[in-house]
Amino acid sequence: MSKRRHNHLTVILTAIPEEFGAIAKYLHAKKQINFWHGFPCIEGMLFDHHVVASITGMGKVSAAITCQKLISDYMPNAIIITGAAGALASDLTVGDIVVSRDCIQHDVDIRTFGYPRGTIAVTMEEAMIWRIFLADETLKNLALSTKINKHTIREGRILTGDQFLTTTHRADYHYLIEELKGDAVDMEGAAVAQTCYANKVPFLIIRTISDKANDTATHDFKKVKTTITDNSLKVIQTVLCGY
């Protein structure tokens, strides 16, 4: 017997503890959930909207299993994943926000079977070939309407892989821009997107640019955590209040 989807419950996923802590701080009527894999998880009212928030941990597998567990337990009406990303597009700078138009897993490669890079073949039947995961239009447009001071907010393509990229990797990953046309790169987004696609749950990725995927990427990421948290809360508020 299938569960009924919660019409007014949104799952919010973060990869870093600071962002989760900021969301928890703003929650009302909150209760801690003893989540199955040890990551903190909390339920409550955020900007008068029923939410469940959790940390995914870094990487695609961690993000996917966290997402699936929360979908199975709560059947939410939408899932939002927030956090940091490295810039690929030249017009993006640290502090800017990219809202996902779509996303691709850049480190999946079955080109030997004749499929373009990023293709995920559940089976070799065309009906089960996934590659580009489209974000929910309503969620995306609401997010883009957020008023952000000092920085820009725009839609773009998020590329996801299990690597934190720096200039050292650039020669090996030139295809991220040239072939896949990515605007930003993260480690969780498209894995959550695939999980949402499989469960028919609307999703949106909100990424603050924490670095330029260059030699200072690790240092920049550490410095910009407050900006990431502030940006995420602003965009989440706009989305929840309008959805």
- Do residues 205 and 158 make contact, with C-beta atoms less than 8 angstroms apart? yes
Distance between CA atoms of residues 38 and 216, nearest Å: 32
Exactly one of 18, 109, 179, 215 is catalytic; which is it? 18
When comparing pLDDT for 68 and 127, which is higher? Answer: 68
Q: Is the pLDDT assigned to residue 216 strictly greater than 70? A: no
Q: Is the pLDDT assigned to residue 116 strictly greater than 80? A: yes
Q: Give residue 60's pLDDT.
A: 95
The number of beta carbons lying within 10 Å of the beta carbon of residue 222 is 10
Q: Give residue 217's pLDDT.
A: 46
Could you confirm whether 18 is annotated as catalytic? yes
Domain ranges of the chain: 9-242
Confidence class of residue 227 from pLDDT cuts 50, 70 and 90?
confident
Q: Which helix or strand (DSSP H or E) is residue 65 part of?
A: helix 60-74
**pTM score of the predicted model:** 0.89
Most confident residue range from 28-37, 114-123, 207-216: 114-123
Which residue in this structure is represented by tokens 């959550």? 192
When comparing pLDDT for 22 and 128, which is higher? Answer: 22
pLDDT-above-90 percentage for the chain: 60
186-191 mean pLDDT: 96
Q: Give residue 81's pLDDT.
A: 96
Q: CATH: 1.10.3720.10, 3.40.470.10, 3.40.50.1580, 3.10.450.30. Which one for 9-242? A: 3.40.50.1580
Could you confirm whether 211 is annotated as catalytic? yes
Exactly one of 172, 211, 215, 220 is catalytic; which is it? 211
Which residues, including other chains, have CB under 8 Å from residue 138's CB and lie 6 or more apart?
Answer: 202, 243
The dihedral built from the CA positions of residue 46, 52, 57 and 58, taken in this order, carries a sign that is negative
